[in-house]
Structure formats: structure tokens, C-alpha cells
Amino acid sequence: MDRPDFPDPLDLFSRHRSIRHYKRDPLADGHLDLIIEAGRRAPTDAGGHMYSVIRVTDPALRARLATLAANQQHIRDAAEFFVICLDVHRLRQLIEHRGGEWGMRERISLIYGTSDATMVAENMMLAAEALGYGTCYIGAVQNNTDVIARELALPAGVLPLYGLCIGVADEERLPPFRPRVPRDLCFFENRHPGDYRAGQLDAAYAEMSVKRDWYESLGRYFATGGTMEAREPVMARAWRQQELEPQKLDTE
């Protein structure tokens, strides 16, 4: 049925961009609760709700976290900053409270906790953008995951994954809309195609290289010596610290 008065739901997605320059304005009354409720309504596997969200309101703490997360000023400036966490600590306590024995091992905890937390964060982001705010995920939380876990007093079974800035965008410093990977490289029918043809990879670089060669960004993050390689030992320490390091199983 045609609904000419109904807004295009895809318009919200097409308008998304990561905002790194914010005004110091607070969120409007009631909007924080709407954003949090949107997060709480996110899908969850098996009713486990394996996430926690830390709202950081202490300016000194937020400044320390900004420094730990690549010294990003927008963490300090945004009206709201949240740290999104995988959390199986609460779930374990719920099981043991009723006399059950905790049976969820580390690999599954990491996978399902990450997926639950990510869906909560995505719902919060979408709700914030629908209300007219700017948002930005902060992956650099993973630069110092173990230290940030201690800063936030996270118990075993809780792991910070990334941050989320929400606030009033500085409209004079909006970034351009960024392209996305060509559809034929990421959406398939029935099965994965395996290796990509050289022409497809070249087309992806052509599509994604707007201001500069896309490889400059990919190499900086994902090639040898890049950011992701540097995060590997940090995450290993954090897994051990938060008691989430996968243990060798008898079946291996």
C-alpha cells in the first residue's frame, strides 16, 4: 500500500556519517531516555542480554578515556559518551542465583556478548540520529581495553568493546558522506563466491577512493604494522584480565 505521507525509512541510513565536531549543547529533555530505551529494545540471543552500557558523566573520567582512546577531542565535547561492553557477568549471577552452574565458555561469551552489545549500540545510534543528533563510534577504546576496563571498575566477564559519542553536530564542520563497499562484494545469494576477481577489487578501490587512495586507510589499519596488529596484545591482556580468554578444550 502506498503511504506518501510516511517518511522513507531508508533515508535515515543514507544520512548517516560519523560526527567528530560537536556543539556543547545538551540533549533535549527526554531524549536520553528515548535513546537508552531504543538500546534496551535491541534483539538479544536466547534472552541473555549480554551487554552493559556505561554512561560517562564525570568530566575527569571522560578526559582520561579520551586520552586512552587516541586522544580524540570529540569524546570530551559530545553531549553524551557511552562505553559499550560485552557483559556475561550479570548473566552468570542470574544463573547461579537460582542454583544453576555456569556453563558458558569464553569463545561463546565473546561471540554472543559482542553481537548483543553491538545491536544495542546500533539501536542507540539510530535512535539518536532519528532525533537529529550526530553520532560516532569509537573503536580506539580497543587501544587500551585493559586499562579502560580498570578505569570503569568492570568485573570479570565484562569487556569494553567501543565507545559511542552522541550530541549536537557542529553544522559548520560536517564531514562528507562516505561511500560504501560495492554491493556485489558483500551481498551474495546462497553461498560465498570465495576469492574475488582482480577487476572486482580494483572496482572497490575506485569506488572507495574519494579523497585519497583507499589503501592508505586499509593499510594503516589492517596491514602489517597497522593499528589492528598493535591491538592484538592489548586484547589478549584484556581477555586474561577480564577472565574471558578462551581455554583449550578437550575436543581440540
Question: Which has the higher per-residue pLDDT, 252 or 99?
Answer: 99
218 in a structural domain: no
54 in a structural domain: yes
Q: Could you tell me if 51 and 104 are in contact, meaning their C-beta atoms sit under 8 angstroms apart? A: no
- Using alpha carbons only, give the angle 8, 14, 15 rounded to the nearest 5 degrees: 100
The domain tally of the chain equals 1
Region 204-233 average pLDDT: 96
pLDDT for the residue 225: 97
pLDDT for the residue 7: 60
**Average per-residue pLDDT in the chain?**
95
pLDDT band, residue 9 (cuts 50/70/90): confident
Cell numbers given for 251: 575436543
185 in a structural domain: no
- pLDDT digit string, tens, across residues 122-136: 999 999 999 999 999
210 in a structural domain: no
59 in a structural domain: yes
Region 161-185 average pLDDT: 95
209 in a structural domain: no
The structure's pTM equals 0.94
| CATH number of the domain encompassing residue 97 | 3.40.109.10
- pLDDT digit string, tens, across residues 69-97: 999 999 999 999 999 999 999 999 999 99
39 in a structural domain: yes
78 in a structural domain: yes
Nearest one of 84, 82, 80 to 22, comparing CA atoms: 80
Nearest one of 133, 120, 54, 235 to 65, comparing CA atoms: 54
CA dihedral 49, 55, 61, 67 (to 10 degrees): 80
Nearest one of 53, 52, 50 to 95, comparing CA atoms: 50
Distance of alpha carbon 231 from alpha carbon 84, whole angstroms:
17
Q: What is the 3-state secondary structure (H, E, C) of the chain?
A: CCCCCCCCHHHHHHCCCECCCECCCCCCCCHHHHHHHHHHCCCCHHHCCCEEEEECCCHHHHHHHHHHCCCCHHHHHCCEEEEEEEECHHHHHHHHHCCCCCCCCHHHHHHHHHHHHHHHHHHHHHHHHHCCCEEEEEHHHHHHHHHHHHHCCCCCCEEEEEEEEEECECHHHCCCCCCCCCHHHCCCCCCCCCCCCHHHHHHHHHHHCCCCCHHHHHHHHHCCCCHHHHHHHHHHHHHHHCCCCCCCCCCC
Q: Supply the range of the domain harboring residue 138.
A: 15-176+231-241
pLDDT band, residue 12 (cuts 50/70/90): confident
